[in-house]
Amino acid sequence: MASKKIKILYTIPNFDTAGSGKVVYDLVKGLDKEKFEPEICCFHNRGSFMDEIKKLDVKVHLFSFAINYRPFFTFPFRIIKTIRFFKKHKFDIIHSWHWSSDFSEPLAAKLAGIPWVFTKKSMGWGNKAWKWRSALSSKIITINSDMKSFYSGKTLKKIEEIPLGVNTNYYTPSFKVNELVLKESNIDSNDFVIVSVVNLIPVKGIEVLINAVIQLDNPAIKLLIVGNDQGDYAHKLKNIAKGISTIQFLGKKADVRPYHAIADVFVIPTLALGEGLPVAPLEAMASGSIVIGSNVSGVKDILKKFPNNLFDPNNVQSLKESILRIMNMKKEDHIQLEKEMRALAVNEYSIDQFINMHSEFYKNIIAKK
């Protein structure tokens, strides 16, 4: 007799952007459907990535699984709806990918008697709600080494580190250079191409990269910034780079592989606050690009075996020196470093490893129920 499938609910606010939604997509798609029965819950069905989610052929619930605490006097009555929803569908595990410190969801799961876990995706911390969210959890998944410093005592025993993964068969060095991309970006054969695929928000520190390129003042150095170029921060960046033809904002691209293919170096200049575990540099490494990044949480985990590829955060001079080091490398050394970075992505950050680690994680939770 076949054993009962483990029914897992993945909660995430929306699929407005690929981001975490892509990670959930990869995880749900990759789980062994003979052993697991995944379902998804989000607040609404809008978003550019929702069409991809629908192709998974798994049940998608539209339900507000996290509720506002205020007004406090009605909170106990409003949370009953969430408890009933969890109980009705008889989930074995609830895995939250909600970015916030909300504790209404884990409280509802606790009262419904269902193990509730969450993936800590960012370095945000400090308010009491994070501590309550953590205390109510059955297990906590961290994605970088610094996150453990948030926890102590009994909570620390709940921690399991599972880094994010990328599809190393999709992101590969074999992707051919697109001549049209070279032409549109005005790239010549002798140019040194710097690429950054990034969500343009202040913590990413793109102004540091722009200022480094400006100060290098070399017409052969071309900077391509790939990502949504709308909003106040993007406008500020464009003003800094105004009139400099070697710096281009290309906007958001559905497929970033053509830019990895022409990159001499990929740069992630995140500021001191750091981040969880950025996927963009992992995709670049898997594609055979050399990656350099700021020495901050998340980025330093990825580049721990390549300490020379780390530069000081928010330090234009340090970044300039890193760029010049890569630029002045012998060709054979450059090729060797590309191969080593690709190997790291394959061996430590593959999507297969990511899925396997989660599968064992879920099995252990059920075994201890």
- Which CATH number characterizes residue 105's domain? 3.40.50.2000
355 shares a domain with 342: no
CA distance 162 to 140: 10
Q: Is residue 173 part of a domain?
A: no
Instruction: Compute the half-sphere exposure of residue 76: CA atoms within 13 Å on the CB side of its CA.
Output: 1
188 shares a domain with 276: yes
Residue in the structure block whose two tokens are 């721990």 = 304
Mean pLDDT on 283-311: 98
343 shares a domain with 203: yes
238 shares a domain with 113: no
Q: Is the pLDDT of residue 18 over 70?
A: no
The model carries a pTM of: 0.93
What was the pLDDT predicted at 2?
A: 56
Min mean pLDDT across 6-20, 87-101, 279-293, 335-349 is at 6-20
pLDDT in tens, 69-108: 899 999 999 999 999 999 999 999 999 999 999 999 999 9
pLDDT in tens, 146-158: 999 999 998 999 9
185 shares a domain with 145: no
Q: Is residue 171 part of a domain?
A: no
Show Cβ contacts of residue 325 under 8 Å, excluding neighbours closer than 6 positions: 308
Q: Is the pLDDT of residue 363 over 80?
A: yes
68 shares a domain with 157: yes
- Conformation bin of residue 289: beta by default, left when phi > 0, alpha when psi is -120 to 50: beta
Which residue in 302, 298, 300, 275 sits closest to 286, CA to CA? 302
Q: Is residue 174 part of a domain?
A: no
What was the pLDDT predicted at 20?
A: 81
254 shares a domain with 344: yes
117 shares a domain with 28: yes
184 shares a domain with 330: yes
357 shares a domain with 310: no
Q: Is residue 75 part of a domain?
A: yes
Q: Is the pLDDT of residue 228 over 80?
A: yes
pLDDT in tens, 246-285: 999 999 998 999 999 999 999 999 999 999 999 999 999 9
Q: Is residue 170 part of a domain?
A: no
Show Cβ contacts of residue 235 under 8 Å, excluding neighbours closer than 6 positions: none
203 shares a domain with 314: yes
Q: Is residue 169 part of a domain?
A: no
Q: Is residue 252 part of a domain?
A: yes
Q: Is the pLDDT of residue 24 over 80?
A: yes
Residue 212 structural domain? 179-348
Domain count of the chain?
A: 2
13 shares a domain with 155: yes
pLDDT in tens, 121-140: 999 888 899 999 999 999 99
Q: Is the pLDDT of residue 1 over 50?
A: no
Q: Is residue 91 part of a domain?
A: yes
Number of Cβ within a 10 Å radius of residue 243: 6
